[in-house]
Amino acid sequence: MVSEYGLKLAVHLITTHFGNIVANVCENLLRKGPLTLDQLIRFTELKREQVKNSLLVLVQHNCVQPFQNQQQQDAAKTEYMALFDNILHRPRFPKFLDIVSRKLDDECVELLDGLLRNGRLTLQQMADRASEGKENPVAIDVVRESLCKLLAGQYVERCPAPEPVLFPVVEETTTRKRGAKSAKIFQPPLTIEQRVLEVSVAGESIRFSLTADTGFNADRETNSDDCPMTSVEDAVKEELTPWRANFEEFMRHLRHKALIENVRTRLDEGAATILSAILDATRTAERKVKVQNSVPLSLEAIFTEVVKSENGRTMTIDRVKASLVQLGCPSRVPDDSYTIDLKNIIELARNDEVESIVLKRYGPYAYRMFRLLSKANCFLETDKIAESTLVEKKEAPRLLHGLWKDNYLHMEKLQVMASKQSRFVMWKVNKPQLWDYVLDEMYHAALNLNLRLGLEQEKDVELLSVPLDKINESKSLQKKFERRRRVRLLLGSSLMKLDDALMLFHDF
């Protein structure tokens, strides 16, 4: 479930990108979950045509996914589902472009830019776009070549099935298996959103292949990889296949980057080099973005990969081994392979972010107590906390209470009958809950930053139409101009940094 301010931020982004009407439709989908066209018309009180057009825009930009819901008995209806994550990705497009510009040529960056701006494009549309403003039209083959490169890096993917069918969940066998199997870790059932996404995505080999036949249509298995091309007609259709940026790959890339950066500051350059090599080597084997552990790799394979990298060229195998120990991974005995606990690195980074808020907002004593509780990861009693942190015993309850009031701590009162001093107050940092809370505060902060940025841009907007030499003549104009520039720079860079933190708490 998306938190309140996450929702508000998403609606704000859609409003600024596509206007109020589209945002109205989107907000209803975000708040109420998947809806049919008729329901949307009722809730938004807009005209049918307006809702339809809004949906077209949202689908085109990958912010909404339609699907056929066959879960109920009655006739299947098309429902529309908002894709919160994809909406939040929109301000990240410059980051995505930056990634590709470091790996591929300018033509690829151009092509990706077109996809990000337009949401989805066919090969023909890409070619038309590339030819815009040029004397000679760019040949479709040239565009195809760039697309192939982007596909090879999985930066671009085939658009998902336009309207996948969601069948009722088949209950697992009712006879309860006892013993080892039933002791399996409980997996929460997938939400409707997750299931729709799962059925809409093409199998790996089709998803990133330019030539494969998709076989996507309403009454065919959407998920199978083995639909041979049947006719020339299909080949022609190929030209009409829409493509889009593969956000998953970009998020994986950004997650890896965050992991490596964190290890670099926490440990050292060597450990960062090793982690980077491991993640590079196993990138394509990662099945989703939020993988808990790195894919197991033998020491030999790691070493080969490390010496390939620029920083790792001079490393010895002993140095690699030492770094692996630093990274907290003793080799696994059976096959001598190593795997790194990535989730742990992410969690340490989250702790840092939260602690730095506590320090700034509540001061050094509260910070010290908070860190004690965060490390202990269990309930501690007020006096015990004060003693272990050398904080004045009369001051400690007040500070702890302040943190609790703002949802940064969990508190429980304990009544012990037999003892003379019968009431204890116990405190704890409940991390998962706290992270959700901090994430919502971050969405709130991001929304505020966006609003303020908008306001600052409106202010002194007439400055933009003043010719440069006029500005240079007047001191006061110069000052205003300079202020505007610095404000935009500060707000913009703060937004980017905050967005990194948002990803750390939501996507990684």
Q: Which amino acid is at 313?
A: R
Q: Is 326 in the site for other proteins (CB under 8 A)?
A: no
Using alpha carbons only, what angle is made at residue 279 by residues 500 and 206, rounded to the nearest 5 degrees? 90
SS3 327: coil
Q: Is 398 in the site for other proteins (CB under 8 A)?
A: no
Q: Taking the CA atoms of 111, 117, 120 and 124 in sequence, report the sign of the dihedral they define.
A: negative
Residue length, the chain? 508
Instruction: Give the residue among 122, 121, 41 at the shortest CA–CA distance from 80.
Output: 41
Name the segment binding other proteins (CB under 8 A); options: 85-93, 169-177, 289-297, 486-494.
Answer: 486-494
Of the candidates 124, 211, 224, 265, which one interacts with other proteins according to CB under 8 A?
265
Q: Is 321 in the site for other proteins (CB under 8 A)?
A: no
**Residue number with CB closer to other proteins (138 or 445):** 445
**Residue number with CB closer to other proteins (63 or 446):** 446
Q: Is 347 in the site for other proteins (CB under 8 A)?
A: no
Q: Which amino acid is at 188?
A: P
CA dist 27 and 36 (Å) reads 14
**Residue number with CB closer to other proteins (142 or 378):** 378
**Residue number with CB closer to other proteins (225 or 355):** 355
- Residue-wise DSSP of 137-185: PPPHHHHHHHHHHHHHTTSEEEPPPSS-EEPPPPPPPSSPP-GGGTTSP
CA dist 38 and 56 (Å) reads 15
Q: Is 237 in the site for other proteins (CB under 8 A)?
A: no
For residues 91 and 498, the answer to whether their CB atoms sit within 8 Å is no
Q: Is 352 in the site for other proteins (CB under 8 A)?
A: yes
SS3 472: helix
Q: Which amino acid is at 303?
A: F
Pairing of strands 242-245, 77-82: unpaired
**Residue number with CB closer to other proteins (76 or 425):** 425
Of the candidates 204, 473, 486, 492, which one interacts with other proteins according to CB under 8 A?
486
Site for other proteins in 121-160 (CB under 8 A): none
Q: The tokens of 241 are what?
A: 């296949």
Of the candidates 58, 212, 281, 447, which one interacts with other proteins according to CB under 8 A?
447
Q: Is 428 in the site for other proteins (CB under 8 A)?
A: no
Name the segment binding other proteins (CB under 8 A); options: 158-166, 229-237, 331-339, 448-456.
Answer: 448-456
Q: Find residue 413's DSSP bridge partners.
A: 425
What is the nearest approach in angstroms of other proteins to the Cβ of residue 396? 10
For residues 34 and 76, the answer to whether their CB atoms sit within 8 Å is no
Q: Taking the CA atoms of 50, 5, 16 and 131 in sequence, report the sign of the dihedral they define.
A: negative
Q: The tokens of 442 are what?
A: 């971050």
Of the candidates 267, 307, 357, 471, which one interacts with other proteins according to CB under 8 A?
357
Q: Which amino acid is at 154?
A: Q
**Residue number with CB closer to other proteins (8 or 89):** 8
What is the nearest approach in angstroms of other proteins to the Cβ of residue 422? 14
Over the window 61 to 80, marking each residue x when it contacts other proteins by CB under 8 A and - when it does not, the resulting string is --------------------
Site for other proteins in 163-202 (CB under 8 A): none
**Residue number with CB closer to other proteins (35 or 373):** 373
Of the candidates 208, 323, 438, 508, which one interacts with other proteins according to CB under 8 A?
438
Site for other proteins in 360-379 (CB under 8 A): 360-361, 364, 367-368, 371-372, 375
Judged by phi (left if over 0) then psi (alpha if -120 to 50, else beta), residue 188 lies in beta
Over the window 464 to 483, marking each residue x when it contacts other proteins by CB under 8 A and - when it does not, the resulting string is ------------------xx
CA dist 355 and 239 (Å) reads 53
What is the nearest approach in angstroms of other proteins to the Cβ of residue 194? 28
Task: Return the HEC string of 381-424.
Answer: EHHHHHHHHCCCCCCHHHHHHHHHHCCCCEEEEEECCCCCCCEE
What is the nearest approach in angstroms of other proteins to the Cβ of residue 361? 5
**Count of residues touching other proteins (by CB under 8 A):** 49
Q: Is 442 in the site for other proteins (CB under 8 A)?
A: yes
Of the candidates 31, 52, 257, 452, which one interacts with other proteins according to CB under 8 A?
452
Of the candidates 218, 285, 414, 455, which one interacts with other proteins according to CB under 8 A?
455
Please report which helix (H) or strand (E) contains residue 66, including its range: strand 64-69
At 290, phi and psi to the nearest 5? Answer: -85, 55
**Residue number with CB closer to other proteins (9 or 156):** 9
Q: The tokens of 89 are what?
A: 């990705």
Q: Find residue 156's DSSP bridge partners.
A: 245
Query: Which residues contact other proteins (rule: CB under 8 A)?
Result: 8, 265, 352-357, 359-361, 364, 367-368, 371-372, 375, 387-394, 406, 438, 441-442, 444-445, 447-449, 451-452, 455-456, 482-483, 486-487, 490-491, 494, 497-498, 500-501
